[in-house]
Chains A and B, each alone.
Chain A
Amino acid sequence: MLDTAFANLGFAISMVTGRPFRQRSLEALLASAKQTQHEFGRIGSDAEALLVPPPMDPGALQAVQERRFRAQAIEALETPYYRERFNDLNISPRATGMNPTDFPITSKNTLRDRAEDFVSSRSRPQYRSTTTGTTGWPTTIWFSEYENFLIGALSTITFRGQRIIEPDDFIQIAISTRARLGVHGVTFAANQIGAPVHPAGIVSPEHTLALLTERHKLPGKKSRVSVMSTYPSYLGELVECALALGYKASDFGLERLLLGGEILSAGMQRRATELFGEIEFRQNYGMTELVPYGASLCEVGHLHYEPTVGLLEVMDIETCSRMVRPGEAGVVVATPLPPFRDTTILLRYNTEDVVRTLEGPVECSLRSVPGTTNLLGKARLSIQHDSGWTFVRDVLDALESVDDVVLPARYGFAAVPGGVAVEVVARSTNKKTADAIGDSLERHGVPLRRLRVVDIRDDLLAPLPLRCDLREGSLATLRKSASIVGAFGGMR
């Protein structure tokens, strides 16, 4: 207990002062949590709260964040990109009175094009992680061993503290195995907690369904996969495939789905629940560029961003030059603060993810933590029209709530005079289906001016990319392909 208390103290000091975490403290905390789990069967429900600093009043919080931001900006002088940029703009992070808003915004494109110019000369880059590249050429982020361990440790604390993974769970990771950090976080946490984990990747839905229904006989573990980490679009593929193959709820043992990387619509949740039975959907917001900074979804659907880990700014969509008003939509501009990042340094990174700031009194359980609405979509896919904005979430929520729309919704939308044109794949192209889709879009506030319903995916003119298409092969699939080649063309 005393060693745990000292480890807690070390963790708290790093959280409060921004000094690097000591790996020994983190290891002691993880070991202590493991011992507690072993001794008592579970850890206290308030374990996570123990490691999170108490809420601060807005003034104190701003002072802490500005101090940390300045420390990160000084560290940024060690990177070729920011050194050059600060020189060009004649900015000195060491000058007194500098505010975060005095520093330039870092765009996605700049990071993508000059990834290694963001690496601190004092760092020891050891792990290359890339984004999945659904929106373009993958962006590289370099991480040190310190960051790699820290990400695993923080994931463990979260998963264990929020009881997302229990020791008797059977975990399957159905995200791209190239999404190294996502896989690492869950795998590390599962190993620490003692739950078996299978990083299966994005294989064919038939294969994944077979894995989900497979019976295991591991001692002390659930007999079927109980927790799956995946993308919402891949979940949609699984739902469609399972229904087509005649699976029912009793075939599965799923209890929790960890979803991220894309927007999860209400329709998708309803339709997944109809297939799998009552399951818990756990959503969060995170991205490789900012990790471990991210946000957790509260019980009323707000995203809450841990203020000691990063600085959140919500800037206007068009120019990214002004902070938005309460209730207004804007893009998330974020800075991971020390001591969480020491290799790829990012200041005021424009994620291009759109959210709305919260207005009025916030009543949720995480009200003391800065929050926004859930993600609305990407800025470059958002459409401004006479009656406001249409975001990806508006269209996706509308489409996936219609049972005739095949999951995951494959669709595109574009601005047309006076509103929005939408194209989507549905089971049928008849008038009834088109009317149902049109009504749903209107109900979700989409000013629909043109609707194109197709029943073949390839007929879409400009579909949005989905992460479920980051498909990986399997030997079974390859053998199947080989036998087809053999049957029709002979083996060479």
Chain B
Amino acid sequence: MTMASIEVIGFVLAGVLLASVYFRHVPITRPPIGVMNLTDTLVFMFGLVVTPYLYVFLAPTSVGVMLGIVVLSILYFTLEPILKHRLLVWSSCLIIVAADVGAALFMGTDDVAFLFINNATLLLAVIGVSNLWAQSGMRARDVTILAAALAVYDYVATWRLPVMTELFTELSGLPLAPLFGGGASSVNTSLYLGFGDVLMAALVPLVFRKAFGKQAGYIALIVGISTIAASVLLVSSGVVSVAIPVMIVLGPLDVVQYICWRSSRRSERTTFQYLLAESVKTR
């Protein structure tokens, strides 16, 4: 096991677990009307298909600015329920983004310090986005459809088209890159894991816990972390020498879990039922 793989798996583990802790204890600020539904999931999927092309074809500066805006807004809604005061929230967000950009500019994007800061920033983003969706009432059915669609997409984009490889190459040189990375100082040790994979590993346990209960949440959490850890280890140990589309494994596993829970529980719980059943702080 390399240092890079330990670092990446460590961040994945922290992201997934902290997302669950956040889900249990921090009510995120959501719009007063509106539930995360299948349309949102499909629109997100469409965005996911289009965005890599934008990243590849846009000038790096434009991509950097886009990433900056997206990360700033994600950090804002992640930290806002904890820090409360607007000034404090904004200053924290700006400091984090400035640290990431500063480290990329002054130390380089292959520096250990930059990777650590960037991984930590992404960790916050994983916590925020997974909770925004899960706490906005996303249904297990929809997250499963998303996982299945991502599995197909990941397979095509990674193994059938050059998109994902080009995207990783393009983004790894930018601050705020949506890639968990480690060991980037050398080509031989470098390891990158897409933000989307970690997001799904964090999101599915939250949604399954809401919909089907603690047990479903814990199993999804273990499945997600194990799948990613196994993929990382396979690549870092040299057993596999090509990029692994994590979702082609995680997606079907999520589908299987959904089918099992859906047939045993018959229906999904709403957020209200989940809050009542598990006595969570009111949202």
A43 and B35 contacting across the interface, CB-CB below 8 Å: no
Whether A43 touches B33, Cβ cut-off 8 Å, given contacts A1-B136, A38-B270, is yes
Q: Which of B226-283 contact A (CB under 8 A)?
A: 270-272, 275-276, 283
Contact A44 B33 (CB under 8 A): yes
Are B32 and A3 in contact, with the CB atoms below 8 A? no
Contacts of A47 in B (CB 8 A): 32-33
B 20-65 contacts with A by CB, 8 A: 30-37, 39-40, 43
1/0 per residue A44-60: CB within 8 Å of B? 11110110000000000
Residue of A whose beta carbon sits closest to that of B283:
A40
Determine chain A's interface SS by DSSP, over half rule.
Answer: helix
Answer whether A5 and B271 are a contact pair too, CB < 8 Å, given A40-B137, A40-B283: no
Whole-angstrom CA separation of A36 from B34 in the bound complex: 6
* Residues of chain A in range 208-246 having any CB-CB distance to chain B below 8 Å: none
- A1-B32 in contact (CB<8A): no
Contacts of B31 in A (CB 8 A): 1, 4-5, 44, 50
Q: Write the nearest CB–CB distance from B274 to chain A, whole angstroms.
A: 10
Tell me the minimal C-beta distance from A470 to chain B in angstroms.
37
Q: Which of B30, B33, B270 contacts A32 (CB 8 A)?
A: B33
Bound complex: CA A180 to CA B271 (Å): 38
Assembled-state Cα–Cα distance A8/B32 (Å): 11
Instruction: Please indicate the chain B residues that have their CB under 8 angstroms from the CB of A193 in the complex.
Output: none
Pair B33/A40 contact, Cβ less than 8 Å: no
Determine if A73 is an interface residue (Cβ-Cβ < 8 Å): no
Q: B32 touching A35 by the CB < 8 A rule?
A: no
8 Å CB interface, B152-174 against A: none
Q: How far is the CA of A46 from the CA of B29 in the complex (A)?
A: 12
Q: Which residue of A lies closest to B32 (CB)?
A: A44
Question: Which of A8, A36, A41, A46 meets B35, CB within 8 Å?
Answer: A36
Q: How far is the CA of A95 from the CA of B137 in the complex (A)?
A: 53
Give which listed residue, A2, A29, A40, A41, contacts B43 with CB less than 8 A. A2
Given contacts A40-B137, A41-B275, contact A46 B270 (CB under 8 A): no
Q: Measured between alpha carbons, how far is A46 from B33 in the docked complex, in Å?
A: 9
Nearest CB to that of A50 among chain B residues? B32
How many A residues touch the partner, as a band?
20 to 34
Nearest-CB distance from A219 to chain B (Å)?
15
Docked CA distance A364–B32 (Å): 24
Docked complex: B125-181 residues within 8 A CB-CB of A: 136-137
A25 to chain B, nearest CB (A): 13
Tell whether A39 is near chain B: CB-to-CB under 8 Å. Answer: yes
In the assembled complex, which residues on chain B have CB atoms less than 8 Å from the CB atom of A43? 32-33
A177-200 vs B, CB cutoff 8 Å, 1 = contact: the mask equals 000000000000000000000000
Whether B39 pairs with A3 at a CB distance below 8 angstroms is: yes
Determine which residue in B33, B271, B275 has the highest number of CB atoms from chain A within 10 A of its CB, and name it.
Answer: B33
How distant is B200 from chain A, measured CB to nearest CB, in Å? 19
The answer to whether A4 and B34 touch (CB under 8 A), given A39-B137, A40-B137, A40-B283, is yes
Q: How far is the CB of B80 from chain A (nearest CB, A)?
A: 15
Known: A40-B271, A40-B283, A41-B272. A2 touches B39 (CB 8 A): yes
Contact A46:B32 (CB < 8 A) given known A39-B272, A40-B270, A40-B283 = yes
> In the bound complex, do residue B34 and residue A40 qualify as a contact, i.e. CB atoms below 8 Å apart?
no
**Max count, chain B CB within 10 A of own CB: residue among A1, A40, A41:** A1
Using Cβ atoms and an 8 Å threshold, which residues of chain A touch B37?
Answer: 1, 3, 35
In the assembled complex, 23 residue pairs joining A and B whose CB atoms fall closer than 8 Å, in A order, are A1-B31, A1-B35, A1-B36, A1-B40, A3-B37, A3-B39, A29-B33, A32-B35, A36-B33, A38-B270, A39-B35, A39-B270, A40-B137, A41-B271, A41-B272, A43-B32, A43-B33, A44-B31, A44-B32, A44-B33, A46-B32, A49-B32, A50-B32
Binding site for A on B (CB under 8 A): 30-37, 39-40, 43, 136-137, 270-272, 275-276, 283
> A1-B37, A40-B137 known; 16 other A-B pairs, CB under 8 Å?
A1-B36, A2-B43, A3-B39, A5-B31, A32-B35, A33-B33, A35-B34, A35-B137, A36-B32, A36-B35, A38-B272, A39-B270, A40-B35, A43-B32, A50-B31, A50-B32
